[in-house]
Amino acid sequence: MIDVQNLRVSFGQGASLVHAVDGVSFSVREGETFGLVGESGCGKSTVLRALCSLNPDWTGTVSIAGAALAPVPDRAFFRRLQMVFQDPYGSLHPRHTVNTTLGEPLAIHNIPDRDRRIIEVLDQVGLGAAFRYRYPHQLSGGQRQRLAIARALILEPRVLLLDEPTSALDVSVQAEILNLLSDLRRARGLTCILVSHDLAVVAHMCDRLAVMMQGRIVEELDVAALSAGRTTTAYGAGLLAASRGYDKRLASSLTADEPGA
Amino acid sequence: MSTARTWLRAEVTTSPLHARLQRGYYGWLRLRSNPLAFAGFLILIGLVLVAALAPVIAPLGYNEQSLAMRLKAPSAEHWFGTDELGRDIFARIVWGARITIYISTLVAVIAAPIGLAVGTTAGYFGGWTDTVLMRINDMFLSFPGLILALGFVAALGPGIGNAVIAIALTAWPPIARLARAETLTIRASDYIAAVRIQGAGPLRIILRHIVPMCVPSVVVRVTLNMAGIILTAAGLGFLGLGAQPPTPEWGAMLSTGRQNMLGAWWIAAVPGCAILLTSLAFNLFGDGLRDVLDPRSE
């Protein structure tokens, strides 16, 4: 479904050139959820932004649903692929009502039957038609993220990119959103890429995952191996150990490894 | 009355009109809670009413001369006195309100869209578009407004219409600057990224997603600028390059009053006070408008 070969993304020029993503390859099968994990700044979000063409300066070959990704894709491309952003407080237009937010993608793609589709998708994400004429500031964080998911789904995409969809939310709301995403994924047969630094979220949602470090994939493993703690690289093992909570001995051994520490 | 109020305060809005009215209602409440801004608002409403009802308030018109009644001090018959041709200054101020409103609205209607269009385009596209548009902007900004307006009037000929065009041409660059700065922060936001990956083109993104976010600050800016615009218009009138006699433009009235300043202070003082009061009202109202138009403070 998604095939990425040797993806490179760099920012800046000359001496300040930074290879944010440095030759990443992976593939995701149809209906599968693939996790990208790694510490902050390892390039996992940049991979997602390149896949949905928010960052046009990439090299490599990417094919999505059998078609090669063009640097400037046509409008039809976006009906196959949508994205849910990390921060629901920043990803919704503050002056657009729920109705406008959901009607916009339909208007862009000239899709008829807007009223029915909007009410339908609001029901599917558990908001209901009563929310239709509210502004984002009248919604809670969880409700906003549900709206963002509804906006991504209203075009009925086959691929959904999830950029840390729960990290900006309250712990109690995180589980709700994750369950909603699993349900929708199953009901619609979505292929997903989930970016997260929370290994528990990845273990809950994904079938397979890749560990990224400094713009490269250092390790790919399936979720069973993750749960059993069977990592093949030292970095993967370190990440796993770090996710189990703060450990004084581990922390001091990590800082001891760093040059200059 | 109370049912209308509950409907406006309803937790759940039931239609686009309802949602919009509710936002307007909360904006109104915020304006009411700010006494200074509300005072400015009332003065402006008063100005509009006076202008609209000029034929009722001063039925004799602004050009009724009576040389026997020249330079009379304010009295019960002539509230603001009479000028050097025996014309009632009160009537002239009332009719002059129309010209002030005409100039300020027309300038706002011309300058705000130009400024918004240039600023958002430059900010959204960046690169060459930004450089070219902003250098043009700098050229307009580097002239003092009144001097540039003087130049235009000299080229186009005196008159209110040309004065409006000249002032509008000097009023748009600061608006464009403001709109560009706002656009630079807005275009990096996730909600613009979201609409981009829905497949929206630049025109749609600018008009439907960026402009609505810039409008509040532009409206505030235009309102605050309005005082300056009225003063520039009055200045052109004062220099004899704006409205021509016998049009009762406040700046031109001030200019003729100057000749009799020592003997008949009211001829210059009354239009001066009218200009002052209107500029002040616009400034007070503009300050309060900032709170009213901020969607996050609801």
A184 falls within a domain: yes
**Which of A133, A160, A162 should we substitute to test contact with B (largest number of B Cβ atoms within 10 Å)?**
A133
Within a domain: A28: yes
Using CA atoms, how far apart are residues B82 and B66, in angstroms rounded to an integer?
A: 9
Q: Is the pLDDT score of A214 beyond 70? A: yes
User: How far is the alpha carbon of B7 from chain A, nearest alpha carbon, in Å?
Assistant: 14
pLDDT one-digit tens code per residue, B267-298: 889 999 999 999 999 999 988 888 788 655 54
Query: Per-residue pLDDT averaged across B17-29, rounded?
Result: 85
Q: Is residue A216 part of a domain?
A: yes
At position A101, the amino acid (one-letter code) is T
What pLDDT band is residue A192 in, cutting at 50, 70 and 90? Answer: very high
Q: What is the pLDDT of residues B30-84, one digit of tens each?
A: 888 889 999 999 999 999 999 999 888 887 778 777 777 787 778 878 888 888 8
Residue % of chain B over a pLDDT of 90 = 36
Residue A260 resides in a domain: no
Helix, strand or coil, per DSSP, at residue B263: coil
Most confident range (mean pLDDT) of A62-66, A135-139, B180-184, B236-240 is B180-184
Cβ-based contacts of A87 with chain B (< 8 Å): 190
In which domain, by residue range, is A97 found? 2-255
* Domain annotation covers residue A261: no
| % of chain A exceeding 90 in pLDDT | 33
> A255: pLDDT confidence band, cut at 50, 70 and 90?
low
Task: Determine the pLDDT at residue A224.
Answer: 84
- Rounded alpha-carbon distances, angstroms, from residue A159 to A156, A183, A208, B44, B117: 9, 15, 16, 55, 36
Asked if B42 is an interface residue toward chain A (Cβ–Cβ < 8 A), one would say no
Per-residue model confidence (pLDDT) at position B63? 79
The count of residues in chain A is 261
Give the gap in angstroms from C-alpha B27 to the nearest C-alpha of chain A.
14
Q: What pLDDT is stored for residue A157 in this prediction? A: 92
Mean pLDDT of A192-210: 89
Contact B226, B289 (CB under 8 A): no
Residue A40's beta-bridge partner residues?
A: none
Contact between B286 and B224 under an 8 Å Cβ cutoff? The reply is yes
Q: What is the CATH number of the domain that holds A168?
A: 3.40.50.300
User: Which pLDDT score is estimated for B255?
Assistant: 84
The side-by-side arrangement of strands in the sheet containing A67-68 is A18-28, A2-11, A58-64, A67-68
Q: Where are the alpha helices (DSSP H) in chain A?
A: 44-51, 77-80, 98-108, 114-124, 141-153, 171-188, 199-205, 223-228, 234-243, 248-257
The number of CA neighbours under 13 Å toward the Cβ of B173 is 18
How large is the greatest C-alpha to C-alpha distance in chain B, in angstroms? 77
Whole-angstrom Cα distance, residue B226 to residue B171?
9
Q: Do A134 and B19 touch (CB under 8 A)?
A: yes
Domain count of the fold of chain A: 1
Angle between the A98-108 and A141-153 helix axes, to the nearest 10 degrees?
A: 20
pLDDT digits (tens, 9 = 90+) for B129-145: 999 999 999 998 888 87
Supply the DSSP string of A118-153, one letter for each residue.
HHHHHHHTT--GGGTT--GGGS-HHHHHHHHHHHHH
- Residue A85: its chain B contacts at CB < 8 A? 190, 193-194
What are the tens digits of pLDDT across the range B197-212? 998 999 999 999 999 9
Please report the pLDDT score of residue A261 as a whole number: 39
| H/E run at residue A212 | strand A208-213
Q: Across all residues in chain B, what is the average pLDDT?
A: 87
Count of alpha carbons within 13 angstroms of residue B112, beta-carbon side:
21
Domain with residues B18-297, CATH architecture: Orthogonal Bundle (1.10)
| In-domain check, residue A133 | yes
CB contact under 8 A, A135 and B208: no
What angle is formed at CA A41 by the lines to CA A35 and CA A43, rounded to 5 degrees?
A: 50
B17: three-class secondary structure by DSSP: helix
Residue type, A77: F
